[in-house]
Structure 1
């Protein structure tokens, strides 16, 4: 992959940087989930209207049809400009949309892709259950085929933004005699469907973005299945592959920015005079450089047409570990006051709490290591 930016790439970067400098909201995204959802819809609409949504999505569904290199530029510049976090837009833009582009029917694409890009439709994820989190293959929420409908009964949990979402990417067990990865189905679930009950879950930072979702004989059209009935595991792996694909460029850039803030804080506080502190900061810069190289190696494969695969678990694992090491060092430099006061208004403490969530969401470090051992290194399974 040639990472020498072309004239078109540089022009794209310059135009994007100028637009972000003028339009990124100074107030930031509200912490309240209801206000946050309204903000997400409005901000996504602003991005779409200005031509900054769906950079490498197909033009016929509202995207711009540009290259993956320009998608990389978008993530980098957005992070550098301090663009609002993905919030409740994350699942639609990084999960559902790419999955529908790759595996959905023409009807799925027409019905959902532009609505995602305009902010009209927010999505949530219905994968995790009380007894099936990182071990996703053990899920038990069942779906029974009844004519041209699926009848769904069960429970999902840790569903971010479920009470504000319009649709859900829902993974259910449609073969009652199946076990583990077999007999699962990925289906588009309208969150307004009769029989759905949503209970918000308050987190340790006082917010309630997560929810438990209960399904009591919820009827979903069979035409909403993405992929094949009982073939949902491969669809789900594609979904998680997209999550672990280009979106990590933005996280990598954000980690880089936070590290440089830690360097500035060290110089301002006098910690810079300590040789050990400078050594730790140098180590973190080396870790960030390694993470950048790994991201670009992955992206070079995607640019050649490869779909994101198990190597994304390596990127996720390293991203989590580098983020956590940067966060812990930043708090070490900030001192005890770094964890005092209103944690939701404290950037250092907020960064540490966010890192804990990042290490669990999308599969824990232990699960990522299992995937790497099994699907990348082809080691024998543990017993």
Structure 2
């Protein structure tokens, strides 16, 4: 498959929550024109897809995107030229979850949390979504606070009940995170823990790699390769970090890492939608305008992918067989150092898109229009 043909098939899912106000533990900086409803979030996601051509789905977060009629929301999305994608559960904001959700020592709290997970599957049935994504803030701050092994048993029980509720064409995606908000022990802290639970559940349970959820210096592309080999990589949450879970724009902090990750994807022929890996953004735009930040992130992933597709696979393989360290590394660096922007501009023009998505958005007047129209009501958002 040619580089352009592969890029034409690429799909990146944007997150509904990234269009609303967000912040750190210290402050939310409200912006003008942010959505007030899930319908307005879909409008913004449709604008990103109009400009980029490769972001045709938008993920929902429940209850942040709760509506009376999910069929109506799905229909509205289709009218705007996009589809509803992954359903994300939220079992980390209620006061009841102070000591955990599905691993909480109180059975009543666990039942409440599992009930929400099952509710999310009900929503998937209404939206036609394939994937349920689970991230748990559950964990401990102090040694002795709870029984570590018992919490794993509770987690396994909740995952099993939810997995059994899935339809034949639906999947469970289990995300992990090294720390925060739990600092002594997180119940799903790493890819190995997520993999072990998914392995017990079955073929439709997969691991999510959030690029900000690792210890400093972690070789994320190694994790990618291992999970690809095992058939257990289900999705990415793309973002950038300098220190911890910074949730900055994808490709902003370490574009070379993003290239290395996409190189493993290309090697495994796992780029196309048929391969079953969901390439999603999960970011927190605190100081930058929302829609342009998401467009920039989509373009950064696309550029890293284009560079990965340009790696001379035959030369790389030959150098590896010969033990030629410098030639092998050089094959990767030659592709990474290639300016793919002219190629991508040409591709967009061939697809009837503006060659410069960021400029297209600026010229569209969309940003000015939503500032004028979205006056009053409660702006969507989360944070401190």
TM-score by length of 2: 0.24
Higher-RCO chain (CA-CA 8 Å, sequence separation at least 6) = 2
TM-score by length of 1: 0.24
